Amino acid sequence: MELDEAFGLVGEFGPGQKRLTAFLVLLQVFVAFQSMLVVLVGAVPEYHIDQEEIPASREALAKHVKFATNFTSIATEWYLIKHEAYKVSLASSLYFAGLLIGNILFGPLSDKLGRKPVYMSGLFFDIIFGYISAFAPNYEIFAMSRFFVGMTNGGMSLVSFVLTQEYVGKSFWALTGSLTNLTFAVGIAIYALLGYYIREWRLLAFVSNSPGLFFFLLSFMLPESPRWLYSQGRTAEAEEVLQYIALTNGKERLSVKLKQYLGAVKKDDSAPGLLNLVKHPVLRWRTVILMYIWYVCSLVYYGLTLNAGELGGNLYLNVALYGLVEVPAFPLCMFFIERSWSGRRKSTTAFLIFAGLACILTMFLPENTGGSFFSPSLLALNGKLTVSAAFNIIYIYTSELYPTVVRNAGLGVCSMTCRFGGILAPFVPSLKSLSPSIPFMVFGISGLSAGFLTLLLPETLNKPIAETIEDLQTPTYQILKNKKMQFVKTSSSFSINL
């Protein structure tokens, strides 16, 4: 039988799969802790310098600076203020640089070596470098540890996201993908709560990293992805995993016999990876469009965050709101992407265009519009809400557009361009020196262009998942597989929801 048929037999989202998915989804709380660490650990409290001339050296500065005692940070310990303040941002930039490299390396590695070993290795080193950050004796070691945390955390979370998709039937990919992103947003708020009660930065870094140990020890129970095993021609191992899933779903031991996949990767073939994203015309076209969409999602998201009404006041409340404002985006996008009249493609297009229009409309509104629905701050927040929804969908959509053998490689390349968008976003507001409307024009045009480009991609709702590149290049594959699914649905007592 085909792999999708087997999932219909053993269960697409049974109790066992729910436990596996819940574990990986909760892992996103730990990922959020690491991603947001510098926001609180690098925060600068109020301080006073008891002389007019700013000392040139850190040692001299330390003698004349007095910080408020409400919390500590790397800024208070190493006096990263004034001419040294850029080092806080540098540590954050090094984290994102690590994410770039992690996304590039871990995707192809997991496509070649397997999902579980690459995920486990990434999580292990993520924890090690996280503790190095907490106990760093100086700024230089702290900054370098953040680079390696970014590399391992970004790569590991990418692979764990793919596992949440490949453990379940395709009809539940949207649900598992949305839950992953939703939990990340909630994790930001939990981190803010943690920071509110733990004001000493080393202890906060230590406590924030410690949940990784719990997840690492329990990760040994995770099976390998049956879809990856099947795509590699390891049919017997894929059958064992599917039988294990059936048992955890409460079904009696089933005889799962998969058909040897004709398009499975052969020993003499070149290993699938980044090269195939360029070499094959279908993948090349999709990758170029998806890279731009991911870049725009990140650029507009972080750009709107910087312009969504000056969130003054309590630092911890602001960090919590930064995460919680995204929460309504997930049920919103879940509603639309499962409807046949909208699907993945049209929903992504609509959300991106709405975000772009919100930015453009903001350009024409005066600042003092009060609490009106059309005030600049509320429009910007609505824009952030919709771009968050688009961001959520594009994760799911990208997973479905790439075949199993290059899925992680494709997600890795797209995530890489996403990081570039995040890095560039803070510089766009500086264009206000030319004209106050230019930043919103950049965000607006970017959102609109990405939305319309999405229409060039195929719809994936209720379509079979390609396992190899050959599936994309064979037009009859989709027809034959759809017909076979229809036949199985009418002739078998098991319901296959595709």
Asked which of 201, 233, 268 is the last residue of a domain, the reply is: 268
Residues 154 and 218 in one domain: yes
For 263, the domain range is: 1-46+61-268
- Cα-flanking dihedrals φ and ψ of residue 66, to 5°? -130, 120
CATH number for position 225: 1.20.1250.20
Q: Are residues 127 and 139 in the same domain?
A: yes
Q: What Rg value do the Cα atoms of the chain yield, rounded?
A: 24
Number of H helices, E strands in the chain: 22, 2
Q: Is residue 286 part of a domain?
A: yes
Domain boundary residue, one of 222, 238, 268: 268
Are 393 and 461 spatial neighbours (Cβ–Cβ below 8 Å)? no
Residue 262 shares a structural domain with residue 343: no
Q: Provide the token pair at 59.
A: 């040692």
For residue 131, tell me if it sits in a domain: yes
Asked whether residue 429 falls in the same domain as residue 292, the answer is yes
* Rounded Cα gap, residues 19 and 112, in angstroms: 26
* Amino acid (one-letter) located at 331: P
Q: Is residue 227 part of a domain?
A: yes
pLDDT on residue 272: 52
* Same domain as 316, residue 173: no
Mapped onto helix, strand or coil, the DSSP state of residue 47 is: strand
Do residues 188 and 278 share a domain?
no
- Nearest CA-CA partner of 33 in 212, 155, 159, 178: 212
DSSP-derived secondary structure for 216-281: HHHGGGPPPPHHHHHHTT-HHHHHHHHHHHHHHTTPPPP---PPPPTTSPPTTSPPPSHHHHHHSH
Q: How far apart are CA 479 and CA 41, in angstroms?
A: 55
- Domain boundary pick from 211, 245, 268: 268
Contact between 253 and 243 under an 8 Å Cβ cutoff? The reply is yes
Q: What are phi and psi of 451, to 5 degrees?
A: -60, -45
Distance CA 30, CA 101 (A): 20
Nearest-CA neighbor of 124 among 205, 219, 29, 35?
219
Nearest to 184 by CA among 48, 31, 34, 319: 31
Q: What is the pLDDT of residue 209?
A: 94
**Both 242 and 286 in a single domain?**
no
Residue 258 domain flag: yes
For the chain, report the end-to-end CA distance as a whole number of angstroms. 15
416 in helix, strand or coil? Answer: helix
Structural domain count of the chain: 2
Single-letter amino acid, residue 345: R
Same domain? 286 vs 362: yes
Looking at the domain assignment, is residue 137 inside a domain? yes
State the pairing for strand pair 65-67/47-49: antiparallel
Query: Is residue 83 located within the same domain as residue 163?
Result: yes
Residue 21's CB is within 10 A of a number of other CB atoms, namely 21
pLDDT value for 98: 87
- One domain for residues 305 and 434: yes
| 318 shares a domain with 367 | yes
- Structure-token match 């999580």, residue found: 123
Shared domain for 200 and 128, answered yes or no, is yes
Asked whether residue 478 is assigned to any structural domain, the reply reads no
Whole-angstrom Cα distance, residue 421 to residue 286? 19
In a domain, 485, yes or no: no
Domain assignment present for 492: no
Parts of the chain with a pLDDT under 50: 264-271, 308-311, 370-372, 476-498
